[in-house]
Structure 1
Amino acid sequence: MFIERKKQMKATLLATAAALLPFGAMAQDRVEATAGADLVSGYIWRGQDLGNVSIQPSASVSFRGFSLTAWGSVGIDKNDTKELDLTLGYATGGFSLSITDYWFNGGAGYFRYGASTTAHVFEVQAGYDFGPLAVNWYTNFAGNDGVNDKGKRAYSSYVSLTAPFRLGGLDWTASIGATPWETSFYNQGAGGFEVTDIAFGVSKEIPLTERFSLPLSARAVWNPATGGAYLVAGISL
């Protein structure tokens, strides 16, 4: 997800996603809650184009390393898919673990959980942030997952490496993501190990008043598996 969830899924995504994931490293002694929204020029997730200009609200509560996050995406274009994700996560030190329920409105209704009819996708994430490098692994374990060439559940997976750095007085991230094996879930059918997301992101605060500034971010993304390339921008409220 373009502006880091992890504000998410922040779990990651959420996972993360997911993009890149979303939890604090230190356990707090009281319940904390946050709410916000991002406006992005395009919804690019793990190298895939999922929509045009979108509003992406989020809300989360956390306590002693545990967090529950709701994240959504609604495209300005009426044909864009609407998404609602719920992520339950735990983080301690640099380690994070989460489960995310993704739901998209293009299929069955929200409360349909049949193995062959649901529009939900359930994903588990595990990762470790070493400081100069964060490593995250994501695997779909239930729901509307992709399949392999034999028509069997693929347990579609994605692995990412993310490195933050500072350049020119701004905060940057460099990341690379890949699918480790065959699945129809990513890139209209990944044929095996494929690098699907090479990205560089930058963010800065634009002061508007003495007490308020507007977070602005930009991200360049390349998907070698599909030949796609994207430059997206976003603001956070």
Structure 2
Amino acid sequence: MKKIVLFAMGMAMSMTTFAQDAVETTISADVVSSYIWRGQDLGSAAIQPTLGVAYKGLSLTAWGSYGLVNPADTKEFDLTLAYTLGNLNIGVTDYWFNQAIGGDPENRYFMYEAHGTNHVFEANIGYDFGVANLQWFTNFAGNGGADKDGKRVYSSYVEATVPFKLATADWTATAGAVPFATDFYNGWTNGFAVTNLALKATKDVKITDAFTVPVFAQVAANPCTQNAYFVVGLTLIP
């Protein structure tokens, strides 16, 4: 899922180690041909808006995904509170999905019961090594996954990204894995499983002298489910 935590990661990588004195606002929207998140197919063409504020390394960001073609596709609304200190970043995300298995069939946003909510609460920690960025994510509350006996597990996901430039485009290579058994990713993983291998290229397309649109394409594969995906999209930034 292009998800809100990945936005916080990107912001962390782009920020310098010096604190910013002014409040920064982010407004953007991705339009994608399909919604692929951590190697999972969550729907067809979608618009994915972002609204965020940041001050001296602390950020609060809202992110969503809404299907443009199929009304049955996943609808999502996420809130992330993150903090960046130098190359280190930490964050907490509240995910809400309208199709959470085992959650609230009425899809109520303000339903927080332990065994009847569509919210997933996730913590993450990461470090940018320059040549690579490493992130660890763990669900700690909400509808965050279970084992075969129905017992709650702290579903986790670890991901490494490597940015590089090639042929006038910005590229990112990604490798992600689920370290422990859970039904949260791909329906079920029995243990350690590589779930996301991706290669993404982004290039600015000049529309006018004062306006450019970042356009991206990504090929992704999930070795665990033996699925492969090709996604194209663009980012609208006012």
TM-score by length of 1: 0.92
Q: Which runs of 4+ in 1 moved over 4 A?
A: none
Determine which structure has the larger helix proportion and give its number.
Answer: 2
Cα deviation, residue 25, structure 1: 4.2
Residue 130 of structure 1 aligns to which amino acid in structure 2? F
Q: 2:56 aligns with which of 44, 64, 84?
A: 64
Alignment match, 1:161: 160
Q: 1:99 aligns with which of 64, 76, 92?
A: 92
Q: Give the conservation status (yes or no) of the 8 Å contact 2:132–2:163.
A: yes
Query: SS of the counterpart of 2:208?
Result: coil
Unaligned runs of 5+ in 1: 13-20
Cα deviation, residue 149, structure 1: 2.3
Query: SS of the counterpart of 2:201?
Result: strand
Alignment match, 1:28: 20
Alignment match, 2:66: 74
Q: Does 2:33 match 1:41?
A: yes
Q: Give the conservation status (yes or no) of the 8 Å contact 2:168–2:203.
A: no
Cα deviation, residue 163, structure 1: 0.3
Residue 234 of structure 2 aligns to which amino acid in structure 1? I
Residue 129 of structure 1 aligns to which amino acid in structure 2? D
Distance 1:99 1:229 in 2: 29
Q: Give the conservation status (yes or no) of the 8 Å contact 1:159–1:177.
A: yes
Distance 1:155 1:221 in 2: 25
Distance 1:137 1:234 in 2: 26
Q: Give the conservation status (yes or no) of the 8 Å contact 1:25–1:91.
A: no
Alignment match, 1:16: none
Cα deviation, residue 183, structure 1: 0.1
Alignment match, 2:189: 190
Q: Does 2:8 match 1:11?
A: yes
Q: Give the conservation status (yes or no) of the 8 Å contact 1:25–1:65.
A: no
Q: Does 2:28 match 1:50?
A: no
Cα deviation, residue 22, structure 1: 3.9
